[in-house]
Amino acid sequence: MNNENQMKELVREKYTAIALQDKEQNAASCCGATSACCGDEVYNIMADDYSKLEGYNPDADLGLGCGLPTEFAKMKEGDTVIDLGSGAGNDAFVARKVVGEKGKVLGIDFTEAMILKARANAEKLNYNNVEFRQGDIEDMPVTSNYANVIVSNCVLNLVPNKYKVISEIFRVLKPGGHFSISDIVLEGKLPSKWKEVAELYAGCVSGAVQKDVYLEMIREAGFSNIIIQKDKTIHIPDDILANYLTPEEITEYKNSNTRITSITVYAEKPAKDERKCCEPGSGCC
């Protein structure tokens, strides 16, 4: 896993397999895909329950998230919202309920099979203001200053260049816009062998970065009023750990200060960019 393109291809393959199954199959198989590598799933142990949110559509819920960003996103009627890593449309349809017919929701996903599934779901719901585009969120197929709100659920940890994505979020948000993103971060040192396990990368664990690094990337991109809206510890069951660690290593991991965490982070793009970094002659853009 020493190549960004290899990482992206791994994610594409895994999430294509997930898109071709229903939620029950995903939960019953290894990490939500069609292989037999572990007794329980890595993806679904992180998921929160969407079923009580207005706009929820069970056909769009593949159980792949690690939070409820749309619950915290401070959307309002008429907003334009982007959902990064939109999957089968779960967060996009919840967002659409909030923004109403006067608003617009755009979902962006890297995987063609997910885009097709999301479009089919939108067609069944007869939504004409929800669009799904295939694209890389490191280079979004969206014009600058487009969205009032951006949401994302357990996606940035899958992206090799996280700073590039955060910079893209800043670009496509309107001045005064904001985001609410749920993601997996770390506190403490992850067992080194996990970094070499492809399955755990696609399952959001070994692709995560330190919590303080994650928040600093958001600050460096120019965002303000950064707030952690939710912080939830992720407990990986022993039968999953046993596929990657020896009994001694499991004990060492559990006794360490390492914490795998799902956080939901809110941040705002200033209404006026005071950094002056893109003025003529500044040399920093």
pLDDT attached to residue 28: 40
220 φ/ψ angles, rounded to the nearest 5 degrees: -65, -30
- pLDDT at site 30: 33
What is the structure's pLDDT at 199? 66
Q: By the 8 A CB rule, do 275 and 281 touch? A: no
Distance, in Å, from the CA atom of 161 to the CA atom of 152, rounded to the nearest integer, reads 16
* Contact status, residue 91 vs residue 131, Cβ threshold 8 Å: no
Count structural domains, the chain: 1
Which pLDDT does position 153 carry in this prediction? 94
pLDDT computed for residue 47 by the predictor: 78
Q: Which helix (H) or strand (E) holds 108?
A: strand 104-109
CATH code where residue 239 lies = 3.40.50.150
> Does 245 fall in a domain?
yes
DSSP 27-53: HHSGGGSSS---SS-SSGGGPPP-TTS
Residue 282 belongs to some domain of the structure: no
**In the beta sheet, which residues pair with residue 154?**
none
In a domain, 283, yes or no: no
Split the chain (285 residues) into runs of 10 and give each run's mean pLDDT: 70 79 51 36 70 90 89 97 96 97 96 95 95 96 98 90 96 98 91 72 75 97 97 87 88 89 96 60 45
79 in a structural domain: yes
* pLDDT at position 39: 36
Is there a domain that residue 279 lies in?
no
Per-residue pLDDT, 33: 36
- pLDDT value at residue 204: 65
Give domain status of residue 278, yes or no. Answer: no
pTM summary value: 0.85
Q: What domain range includes position 199?
A: 4-268
